[in-house]
Amino acid sequence: MGAPTSSMTDELKIRQLDDYRWLIPRQGNMRVDGLIYADRKLMEDIRGDQAIQQVANVACLPGIVGRSIGMPDVHWGYGFAIGGVAAFDPEAGGVVSPGGVGYDINCGVRLLRCDLSLTEAKARMPDLMNQVMRDVPAGVGSHYKSFRLSAREVKQVLEEGARWAVARGYGSEADLDHIESGGALPGARPDQVSRRAIERGRPQVGTVGSGNHFIEIGYVGEVYDEETARRLRLEQGTVTVFIHSGSRGLGHQVCTDYLDVMLKAATRHGIELPDRQLACAPLTSPEAEQYLGAMYAAANFAFANRQIMAHRVREAFAHVLGRPWTELNFDLVYDVAHNNAKWETHEVDGTPRRLCVHRKGATRAFPPGHPDIPDMYRDVGQPVLIPGDMGRYSFVLVGTEGAFEETFGSSCHGAGRRMSRRKAKRSVRGRNLRKEFERRGIEVRAASFATVAEEIPEAYKDVAEVVDVVDRAGIGRKVVRLQPLGVLKG
């Protein structure tokens, strides 16, 4: 264990507690301590931007309990850092903040697995990637030309989430058991979602979008825990599909709309904001009730979005391989959200309390035995899906008791950026990215290679280092590592 050290970053005092924990002691207007999970190397990256200050800013919000937390993939966001977790108690004046959820409400990942042999997958990878690219719109403003929902249908999606998609033939009932919250958050209020948001969502359900969103075909390259891997049906060599997307323009508009509502509410309730993007309202206020209803509705849109894409990917495989997807046992392993705020019960100072847990760029990671974990996984813990950058690897973990005790049952969500988009693009000048990925054995398809340039592996931290910190700090447990074979970027 490294010796605890103290230092000042941008005038904030930080103290190293052990090899993987850094305390930001309560100072200034902070109501609670901040805690960042990182080893020394990751901490150097984290110190490079404003993430630490943002973790401290969140600690200033009313009604925050426990600690303001930064995961090992934490980096500079707006308002909350990306990779931030914070829980608020309504009985202590706690708040909800759209900036603590983000613009891409319920941005998340889902992982599918199938019985296709690795040899056949590798041989058919170009065809599979071409078909996925034809069948699932990706890229800036991606939308369907012939699949545009009516406003009434969008409202049904907002209410029913993934179930809406399954009821229309996109997937199976069994899928719903493998999605966080069953693929639909209760309490969604489509009537609190603006006409603009619905308008933006109409052509976009079932689309990838752009930025860091992707569809990735891969396989299990290494198993760390054979028994748990077997339970997740992720044995060595199993072919997998990762889908990363969120609530698209609909969610962005909900966040935009409610930031303004919350700015006014914060003024009215006398809440002092260290950053306006932390605009918030007391959880007991009408504004909070409206936002939570609208945010849950947008989250349901995201669940339906990923459900439709997953089904289209299954159909794409079936088309290329000439076999129905059911014959391939093309099943959903799990689907988790990265950006949301949910009501959960956690123990604080020895007492169970109903809290609103904000996770912005963080994953729920409930331990074995938790009632919110579906039956088939309850004894192993909730699957935690951690995509890496597009060239190296991704990981599947399970939640732990440690996470439940320390981080409100949360873990990291990905590698975390370490390089700005501008720097990333500058660093690829003169390089043939397509060839570089081919040399790594990865088929890349992209609506725009400019996005690929921004998303090069070196723009991200090494997700293996991030996940190792999570594993060693006990807030998640590694199960398998996935290797990419083909990536579709927006």
Partner 1 sequence: MDGQELPPGVIELDHTADVGMTVEAASLEDLFRRAATGMLWLMWEQKVTGRPAPATRPLALQASAVDTLLVRWLRELLYLHEVHGFVYRGATFDTLSDRRVLADVSGLRASDPPVREFKGVTYHGLEVEQENGRWRATVIFDV
439 binds partner 1 (CB under 8 A): no
425 binds partner 1 (CB under 8 A): yes
255 binds partner 1 (CB under 8 A): yes
Q: Looking at beta carbons only, is 36 or 112 nearer to partner 1?
A: 36
Question: What is the smallest separation between the CB atom of 264 and partner 1, expressed in angstroms?
Answer: 9
Distances (CA, A) of 312 to 69, 170, 241, 257, 333: 37, 8, 12, 31, 16
d(CA 221, CA 236): 6
Question: What is the smallest separation between the CB atom of 474 and partner 1, expressed in angstroms?
Answer: 27
d(CA 43, CA 36): 9
426 binds partner 1 (CB under 8 A): yes
Residues 196-215, mask of contacts with partner 1 (x by CB under 8 A): x--xx--------xxx----
Contact range with partner 1 by CB under 8 A, out of 117-125, 139-147, 391-399, 474-482: 139-147
Q: Looking at beta carbons only, is 66 or 209 nearer to partner 1?
A: 209
Contact range with partner 1 by CB under 8 A, out of 180-188, 310-318, 393-401, 450-458: 450-458
d(CA 194, CA 293): 12
Instruction: Give, as ranges, the residues between 31 and 60 that touch partner 1 (CB under 8 A).
Output: 48-49, 51
d(CA 287, CA 175): 34
Of 106, 109, 59, 15, nearest to 415 by C-alpha is 109
**The two structure tokens encoding residue 294:** 């609208």
447 with 210: CB under 8 angstroms? yes
Q: Phi first, then psi: give them for residue 327, nearest 5 degrees.
A: -65, -25
Question: What is the smallest separation between the CB atom of 422 and partner 1, expressed in angstroms?
Answer: 6
409 binds partner 1 (CB under 8 A): no
CA dihedral sign, ordered 469, 472, 476, 481: positive
252 in catalytic set: no
32 with 66: CB under 8 angstroms? yes
**The two structure tokens encoding residue 234:** 């992720």
Question: What is the smallest separation between the CB atom of 213 and partner 1, expressed in angstroms?
Answer: 10
Instruction: Give, as ranges, the residues between 55 and 114 that touch partner 1 (CB under 8 A).
Output: 75-79, 82, 99, 102-104
Kind of pairing between the strands at 21-24 and 95-96: unpaired
Within a 10 A sphere around the Cβ of 119, how many other Cβ atoms?
9
451 binds partner 1 (CB under 8 A): yes
Contacts with partner 1, residue ranges (CB under 8 A): 48-49, 51, 75-79, 82, 99, 102-104, 139-141, 196, 199-200, 209-211, 249, 252-253, 255-256, 259, 263, 275-277, 279, 417-423, 425-426, 429, 448, 450-451, 454
Q: Active-site positions?
A: 413
